[in-house]
Amino acid sequence: MALASSSRLLHRFSSSSLARPCRRRVPRPRGHSRFAVRWEHRAAAVVVLLPRALLGGGFQDADAAESDDEEEEDAHGVLRPLDADDVNLDLHAPPSGPERWDVLGLGQAMVDFSGMVDDEFLHRLGIQKGTRKVVNHEERGRVLRAMDGCSYKAAAGGSLSNSLVALSRLGSSRSTNYPELRIAMAGSVGSDPLGSFYRAKLRRANLHFLSKPVKDGTTGTVIVLTTPDAQRTMLAYQGTSSTLSYDSDLASLVSKSNIVIVEGYLFELPHTIEAIKQACEDAHKNGSLIAVTASDVSCIKRCYNDFWDIVTNYADILFANANEARAFCELSSTDSPMSAARYLSHSVPLVSVTDGVHGSYIGVKGEAIYIPPPPCVPIDTCGAGDAYASGILYGILRGSSDLKSIGLLASRVAAIVVAQQGTRLRVQDADRLAESFTLHLDNLEFCSDIETDHVSNF
């Protein structure tokens, strides 16, 4: 069955509910959720051997390097080539799936190349440090050639896929008796080796990439260059990954999804806007919740009218960081993120605004709830906002209406990702977080103004 409409979402998370008296929640059968029905299918793990001519040598599989989960680590970190059966499996979307998807993400399917460089490298190539720039095929090739001989990692990246992988791991935790969440993504990858690599990596994370490869298409890449001062510079080659064609297959997926998430980076190419509007229109008609990620300040500024049109007319949930929220509201850098969250919540039922080490805010009906940050020693801040979004979605999908608890869970997910190298929530951390949240839902007295110390174990 479909999730609540935006009006019902508003009712569930009404700011007036924050003052309701405490009452004990009526016990519900374990394993039951109106948002999820268990789907037993798990795709087989596949690893792809990438051409070193493209990677410039020194390639390391990021998943094998970062994951300490047995089911995700290749022996000795060695990649193997696809065999014929793998190729046949990879070139087609799953022939059948569940009756409904809990979450369907529409986003850029990009392969990340991440490496350490010094300031001289950036200066020599004329790259401004700390920025994100869209590059063409020639510029991408020039940078990759300059990196020849360097050691760097490849991963199935993208902001949205980070969130969906974390949500999938939270939703398939072995430490709870909840039904497994069914998470899928649609987008565009080419019929090239990088497209096969992307699809295979998501499949290993139990995230189902449902779009067929684009014939003769080129999978997009993001080169992430990190300098010794921990600043990240990103060069995005979009290829066919920023395209989104709203065909009958995608319309069918949207019609049977409880939550549809639109990644803001899709707004960067004008021809995707109409597809986004059609997807949101169909999702709205089917009673699905619609979430939008802001993605990037420069993206918002370049595509402001299209962004605002989708956000105000369709979005039930908006994810943004402080700078992105201010950009939406056209506020100055001196305005508080709380003000932005309040302002945006007049147009969107639920607004999530993160502010790094200063915490985060959840805006509902013109009010904002402050979520304090948990203790954390940051190592790598990349992907923090993506992880936070997964926590918000997980709380909603598990039926909680306590915004404070949902926000604290999301903050804890983000803190764990920030305290490690890499952007992906690890399986064992997801198990622990899901178990803590389940204990909270099942065993504590439920009231909307639960104090922070009651859920400090998140």
Helix 384-397 × helix 427-443 angle, to 10°: 40
CA 390/CA 376 separation, integer angstroms:
18
Task: Give which of 39, 32, 222 is closest to 114, Cα–Cα.
Answer: 222
CA 204/CA 192 separation, integer angstroms:
19
CA 273/CA 45 separation, integer angstroms:
34
pTM across the whole model: 0.77
- Whether residue 315 is contained in a domain is answered as yes
Take residue 441 and report the two structure tokens written for it.
């839902």
CA 115 to chain CA mean position, Å:
22
Cα angle 189-194-195, degrees, rounded to a multiple of 5: 25
- Which contiguous run of DSSP H or E holds residue 208? strand 208-209
Residue span of the structural domain in which 447 resides: 6-455
345, 366 contact by CB (below 8 A):
yes
CA 72/CA 45 separation, integer angstroms:
8
188, 210 contact by CB (below 8 A):
no
Query: For each of the chain's 458 residues, which pLDDT tens digit applies?
Result: 445 555 556 565 654 344 333 333 333 333 323 222 222 222 222 233 333 334 434 444 555 444 434 333 332 222 333 333 333 334 344 434 567 899 999 998 888 888 888 899 999 999 999 888 889 888 988 998 888 777 777 888 888 999 999 999 999 888 788 889 999 999 888 888 988 999 998 988 889 999 888 888 888 888 888 888 777 788 988 887 667 888 899 999 999 999 999 999 888 877 789 999 999 999 999 999 999 999 889 889 989 999 999 999 999 999 999 999 999 999 998 999 999 999 999 999 999 999 999 999 999 999 999 999 998 887 777 788 899 999 999 999 998 888 999 999 999 999 999 888 777 888 889 889 999 898 887 664 433 333 434 334 44
Domain count across the chain: 1
CA 35/CA 101 separation, integer angstroms:
9
Q: Give me the residue label for tokens 């390639």.
A: 59
- Whether residue 166 is contained in a domain is answered as yes
- Whether residue 355 is contained in a domain is answered as yes
First CA to last CA distance, the chain? 29
Q: What is the CATH number of the domain that holds 237?
A: 3.40.1190.20
- Which contiguous run of DSSP H or E holds residue 137? helix 137-146
- Whether residue 285 is contained in a domain is answered as yes
Task: Give which of 34, 28, 101 is closest to 396, Cα–Cα.
Answer: 34
CA 144/CA 150 separation, integer angstroms:
10
- Whether residue 387 is contained in a domain is answered as yes
- Whether residue 1 is contained in a domain is answered as no
- Whether residue 117 is contained in a domain is answered as yes
- Whether residue 191 is contained in a domain is answered as yes
Take residue 181 and report the two structure tokens written for it.
């969440």
DSSP assignments along 332-363, one per residue: -TTS-HHHHHHHHTTTSSEEEEE-GGG-EEEE
